Amino acid sequence: ARLLEQLGCGDDLIVVSNRAPCIHSHTPDGVIAQRPAGGLVTALEAVLAKEGGCWIAHGSGDADRDTCDEHDHVRKEHLDAPYRLRRLWLGEDEVAGYYEGLSNEGLWPLCHRTDVEPTFRDADWEHYVRVNRRFAEAVVAEAATARPVVLVQDYHLALVPQMVRERLPDAVIVLFWHIPFPAPQRLARLPWREQVMAGLLASTVVGLQTPADRDNFKLARGACALGAGAAHVDAYPISIAWPGRQELPAPGLGDDVRRRFGIAPGVRLLVGVDRMDYTKGIPERLQAFELLLELRPELLGQVSLLQIGAPCRGALPAYQEISRQVKAMTARINARFGTDTWQPVVLHAASANAATVTDCYRASDVCLVTSLHDGMNLVAKEFVAARNNLRGVLVLSRQAGAAAELEQALLVEPRDIGGIARAIGRALDMPPQEQTDRMRAMRAVVSQNTVFGWAARLLGDGMRIAAGRTARPEL
Ligand code: F6P
């Protein structure tokens, strides 16, 4: 049965996020639909594809308007999904102020511990408030009843819960914050922290990724002038949909993937799959691989790192810089160690579709997730889900939320280059039985904690609390 029916939510489920699950573009062959890279869409798409409902998001593709009807809903022939997708149109100045400015030059670096510091501009904040208001109005317009269940996603939309609450006081509003939540001393740098906290605390439930994020949020709530809001606050680690019955990887898959990326047959494969973001620790990963090649020359010619780096937020200087840096490091390492027949680093600086990414996971010996700081990191969970042959090793940053669940990964500190190099060496040397034991344990964790369980807990708590019943005791 549908989760919504079980929970008594009715049919009035509205998801609201900045990024849409599908982006339409014009090509010489006609309009194509693409799924953007990123954990939010990976997780939420699975839930809405099962539950139905309405998804409201910013329309950013150059064919997005042409694929919508007069109510800004994507026409049926362009959306092969059981939910409605309503697009919201933002002007260039709104994108620059709300998305690039306040969200990604302000809140994103505020919430992630990296070398990039946040920038706050009053004009960006004004756009942020206005755009949040526009999203909230779209929610009200889409609500079929006075008591919709509204799932608000992420740091782009922190004011939406309060703005929806003003118009629909009985709505069940669940906000999920996908990225880390900063400690109070750090949050104190945000000029509009009181407004942001008030916006969030109008929710029925505020969900964070990990117990540490939840504790930071509670400290922030304690410190804000308006005092404790009514929202129930807890950790709800996000996840993926566990794949149905899958064949074992075909014997030729490894060679096939190597051929696709120009890697010689028989070369062992390390794989990294990331958005090209400075939070992901890609330079540190490359440095560690370089160090490994120095320390263990017997690996020269024997192992390549295939790094997929999906372009992202390209208008921002910090993203242009990380992209330039990763390309330059790749070129330098390849010039230093590469031969006519072997490239140590193969950088695919483009997005890859889900099937290709799964093939890469299945063909690799080791998956590298070395984020400097990450809310959850669903690549780690996707890799585990793809390895039904119980082989392959995950090297995982302790600074990613996923590390709290995937204890059987080889856990590393993302700035400890020597430690990462040793972990990659250990992963390459790991006996098959140990790979199997670790993979089996991680698969048990992820298969039992899917995104449907995540949605059930979040929505279940939202429904219970809205109905005035006693909340589940907090952890
Ligand atoms: O939660 C992280 C996040 O901002 C998500 O909203 C999104 O899935 C991902 O990063 C991709 O970022 P963007 O939407 O800015 O391309």
For 70-91, the DSSP string reads TTSBBPGGG--SSSEEEEE---
- Is the complex ipTM more than 0.90? yes
Separation CA 135–CA 40 (nearest Å): 17
Residue 35 CA, ligand 1 centroid: distance in Å:
12
Separation CA 33–CA 302 (nearest Å): 38
Atom 10, ligand 1: residue with shortest CA distance: 38
Q: Which residue numbers in the chain have pLDDT < 70?
A: 1, 10, 226-229, 469-475
DSSP 24-60: EEEETTEEEEEPPSSHHHHHHHHHHHHH--EEEEE--
Pocket test for ligand 1, best of 15, 17, 35, 40 (most atoms within 8 A of CB): 40
Residue 288 CA, ligand 1 centroid: distance in Å:
26
Partners of 393 in beta bridges: 366
Amino acid letter at 89?
Answer: W
Partners of 271 in beta bridges: 306, 367
Write down the pLDDT at residue 79: 93
Under 8 Å CB-to-CB from 154, ≥6 apart: which residues? 17, 18, 40, 176, 177, 178, 179
Residue 390 CA, ligand 1 centroid: distance in Å:
30
Atom of ligand 1 nearest to the CA of 312: 16
Pairing of strands 172-176, 205-208: parallel
Write down the pLDDT at residue 10: 66
Residue 155 CA, ligand 1 centroid: distance in Å:
9
Separation CA 110–CA 409 (nearest Å): 28
Pairing of strands 30-34, 23-27: antiparallel
Rounded to 10 degrees, what is the CA torsion of 272, 275, 279, 284? Answer: 30
Write down the pLDDT at residue 40: 84
Pocket test for ligand 1, best of 157, 178, 273 (most atoms within 8 A of CB): 178
Residue 88 CA, ligand 1 centroid: distance in Å:
17
The answer, as to whether pTM is greater than 0.90, is yes
Separation CA 275–CA 38 (nearest Å): 7
Atom 5, ligand 1: residue with shortest CA distance: 40
User: Burial of 323 by CB count in 10 Å (0-12 exposed, 13-18 middle, 19+ buried)?
Assistant: buried
Pocket test for ligand 1, best of 19, 157, 176, 382 (most atoms within 8 A of CB): 19
Ligand 1 — pocket residues by CB below 6 A?
Answer: 19, 36, 38-41, 154, 178-179, 275, 312-313
Tokens representing 279 are 């939070």
Of 268, 266, 292, the closest CA to residue 364 belongs to 268
Separation CA 327–CA 338 (nearest Å): 15
Residue 254 CA, ligand 1 centroid: distance in Å:
30
CB 133 within 8 A of CB 164: no
User: Burial of 257 by CB count in 10 Å (0-12 exposed, 13-18 middle, 19+ buried)?
Assistant: buried
Residue 270 CA, ligand 1 centroid: distance in Å:
25
Token pair 């914050």 in the structure block, residue? 177
Structural element, H or E, at residue 108: helix 108-111
